Amino acid sequence: MTPNTESGSIEFTDLTQDTLIRFRIPYTVDENHTMLSARLEVAYETDAGRFTYISTSSVVSTLPISVNVQDIFRDDVLLSRFTVSPAMLVPLRILGCEIPESDVYEVQSGPKGGRAPVVNATTKRNSLRLTVRYTCIDDECLLLVRQKFSSALEQ
């Protein structure tokens, strides 16, 4: 692997057949980029000659969820209530929302059965980690339509 920071490209050489390369791009809210674009150029050689494959792809990088935090300050404790909701016009299915307990803070379920976790923070040495598992319902529908269509074509 040879990265080129000036051009923003990464070059891989001498890859064997059927090699899979996956890029993981960390999400940040420091910059407001709503789309990520990538260009793939593959030069390869076979018994039939030398070939080049070029492809471009764009991905929406805006998170479809929004997290609102309401802090309530008391004399000896900080209570934080987290509300998770859609950030766009994409319907969501919230699969779970957890804040793992630690020796720094205690987690108590909210009055509605855990949909909005309430954190009883005893100290503020470390940051809280909120894990939200979700799927976009439009992606679920698209996957289902593809599966049904593929199944119908096979029959």
Place 110 in a pLDDT band, splitting at 50, 70 and 90. Answer: low
Using the predicted structure, report yes or no on whether residue 113 has a pLDDT greater than 60: no
Q: What is the pLDDT of residue 117?
A: 56
- What is the overall mean pLDDT for the chain? 78
* Better pLDDT: 60 or 19: 19
Residue 78 pLDDT > 60? yes
pLDDT at 39 over 80: yes
- Average pLDDT rounded to a whole number, residues 70-98: 80
pLDDT reported for residue 53: 92
Q: Quickly state the pLDDT bin for 95 (edges 50, 70, 90).
A: confident
Strand segments (E) across 1-155: 2-4, 9-11, 35-46, 49-60, 65-73, 78-86, 92-98, 105-108, 118-121, 131-136
Report whether pLDDT(116) > 60: no
Q: What pTM does this model have?
A: 0.47
Residues facing residue 46 across a β-bridge = 49
Q: Answer yes or no: are the C-beta atoms of 54 and 43 closer than 8 Å.
A: no
Q: What is the DSSP letter of 14?
A: S
Q: Which residue has the higher pLDDT, 76 or 125?
A: 76
| Mean pLDDT, residues 70-79 | 77
pLDDT at 147: 92
Which phi and psi (to 5°) does residue 21 adopt?
-120, 130
